[in-house]
Amino acid sequence: MLIGPIGSALVNFSTAFVFSPKAWAGFIMFGIAALIFLVAGRIPLLSSRRRRAQKKEEQARAQANANANGRAPAPAGKGGMAAALPRPANARKGGTSAREVDGLYKDVEEILRRRGIK
């Protein structure tokens, strides 16, 4: 009793949906919009893959440069140049001696000189 009207409703819905030009126009418009977003690079997944690949390339170049110079590479991180600088032994105590600060500045100047910045 109930199977007839349900089956009829499903058939009417599917035929109206499958053969509807409005439905297909909607699918086509959705596909075009998705393609535009992909091409424009607005999907975060694609841009994060690109960033990860660039980061790996930079790390490989840094490793190759460090091996060529015979030095250990700087630690990778978001700190940039500050992450590569050595921390004073008593940094947690709240102060550094003048000798440690002078040594730190000498190290920084040496790094800058090696890279041709100063």
pLDDT tens digits, residue range 54-67?
Answer: 888 888 888 887 77
What pLDDT does 96 receive?
A: 60
pLDDT tens digits, residue range 70-93?
Answer: 665 555 555 555 555 555 555 555
Delimit the domains of the chain by residue range. 85-118
3 state SS for the chain: CCHHHHHHHHHHHHHHHHCCHHHHHHHHHHHHHHHHHHHHCCCHHHHHHHHHHHHHHHHHHHHHHHHHHCCCCCCCCCCCHHHHCCCCCCHHHCCCCHHHHHHHHHHHHHHHHHCCCC
* Residue with tokens 């058939």, as numbered in its chain: 11
